[in-house]
Copies of this chain bind each other. A is one copy, B any other.
Amino acid sequence: MQEPVVITLKKHQLSITDTRKKILNFFLESAGALTHADIEQRTSTEFDRVTIYRTLQTFVEKGIIHVIPSADNAIRYALCKDNCAAGHHHDDHVHFMCDDCGTTYCLDHVSVPKIKLPKGFTANQTDLVVSGVCHKCEA
Asked whether A129 lies within 8 Å of B69 as measured between CB atoms, the reply is yes
Interface size on A, residues (CB 8 A): 37
Which of B123, B135, B136 is in CB contact (< 8 Å) with A130? Answer: B123
CB atoms of A96 and B121 under 8 A apart: yes
* Min CB gap A87→B, angstroms: 14
The answer on a CB contact under 8 Å between A94 and B67 is: no
Listed A/B pairs (22) with beta-carbon separation below 8 Å: A69-B70, A69-B127, A71-B75, A71-B127, A94-B115, A94-B117, A99-B124, A110-B116, A113-B115, A117-B130, A120-B136, A121-B130, A121-B132, A121-B133, A121-B135, A122-B133, A123-B132, A124-B133, A125-B131, A125-B132, A127-B127, A127-B130
* Chain B residues within 8 Å of A75, by CB: 71, 73
Cβ-closest 3 pairs across A and B: A120-B135, A124-B132, A69-B71
Cα of A99 to Cα of B70 in the assembled complex, Å: 18
